[in-house]
Structure 1
Amino acid sequence: MRLWGINAPQAGEICDRNGEPYPCGKEAADFLGRTLAGKTVTCHLREAPKAYPAVAICSFRQRIRPAEEPSFETTQNVQMAMVHWGYAKDNAQESDGAFAKLEAQARANRWGLWNGVFTSAKETRYHGDGGRGAGCGARGLPMRIYGIAVRR
């Protein structure tokens, strides 16, 4: 499954930080795993899957425990979390710029993958290394998280 509206590095993707290669795909996958660990995740298919991978909008339930207040649960959007913390980019062609402001904030603060060079595989093909993989992948993170409920 691919997350709708964002571009994230693939699990094996290598990016550049301070002139040195580093496993940006692993960092993004680790962030996603930490964020969703122990939470209920629900995905709604964006469209009927015509080809692999299916495209979905996903959310997770999170319990908030403010100091001296009763705890409560809230629903968080997975795509927004990935972009907000700098582990994915807005895919404006697909999302109509839904995550552009979050991406700009993450980029300005150099959060997550923005602490290095974070380009998409498409940008790399057209501007750079001849497709050797110095950029971060445009296909998105593979969703290998157990217990995800997918709804149409």
Structure 2
Amino acid sequence: MKKIIIFFGLIFFLSATVSADTKKVKVIDGDTIHIGTIKYRLFGIDAPEIKQICEKDNKKIECGILAKNFLKNKIGDKIPSCITNDKDRYQRFVAECFIGNESLSRFMVREGYAVAYSQYSKDFVEDEKFAKENRLGIWAMSFQMPSDYRKASKNK
């Protein structure tokens, strides 16, 4: 009987370890996260690319890294819940992800670390307006729109 209890205890421990491991969150950049093996592109927003540089007071700022770290700090050790809308051309799930009841997409745009991707959704346009008017995040700097930065980088 002891062997059976130990066996089931070991199986429970291993399955708990595996499921905890598959729920590991990795922040790739300001609009992409991986939860376990699933890749998510945050819906309706566009954040600076990792290598993107912005400028403030004649200083170069790694605004792509800044956006990534801002999202990473927001998520902390929590696991976002995501509602999938679609898949993009890179086979990532396009999803609105939440920490509790707070949309990460809305948070990133309202705090100024992403822009509303209005070609795909108008959901966060007012949040962008708020960030822009209050010069939050990248709106306090000179920057190239992330989509324009990608196009320019592709042509180099």
Q: TM-score range by the shorter chain?
A: 0.5 to 0.7
- CA RMSD, 1 decimal: 2.2
Per-residue deviation, residues 56-106 of structure 1 (Å, max 9, x unmatched): 111112xxxxxxxxxxxxx100000000100000011111x2111111111
CA distance in 1, matches of 2:83, 2:57: 38
For residues 50 and 86 of structure 1, the distance between their equivalents in structure 2, rounded to whole angstroms, comes to 26
Structure possessing the higher relative contact order (Cα contacts under 8 Å, 6 or more residues apart): 1
In structure 1, the partner of 2:125 is 100
Instruction: Give the match's secondary structure for 2:119.
Output: helix
Aligned to 2:74: 35
Partner of 1:148: none
Name the CA shift for 1:30/1:51 in 2 (closer, same or farther; >3 Å). closer
Matched to 1:22, the amino acid is I
Measure how far apart 1:5 and its partner are.
Answer: 0.5
Runs of at least 5 residues in structure 1 that lack an aligned partner in the other structure: 62-74, 134-152
Percent identity between the two aligned chains = 30
Q: Which runs of 4+ in 1 moved over 4 A?
A: none
User: How many residues get paired?
Assistant: 115
Q: Which moves more between the two structures, 31-40 or 13-22? A: 13-22
The reply on whether 1:6 has 2:32 as its aligned counterpart is no
The residue number in structure 2 matching 1:111 is 136
TM-superposition CA deviations, 1:77-136 (whole Å, max 9, x none): 0000000100000011111x211111111111111111102332433578xxxx259xxx
Distance 2:148 2:88 in 1: 26
CA distance in 1, matches of 2:150, 2:85: 27
Alignment of 1:1-150 (within 5 A): 1-48=40-87, 51-61=90-100, 75-95=101-121, 97-124=122-149, 131=152
2:31 paired residue number:
none
Letter in 2 for 1:38: D
More helix by percentage: 2
TM-score w.r.t. the length of structure 1 is: 0.67
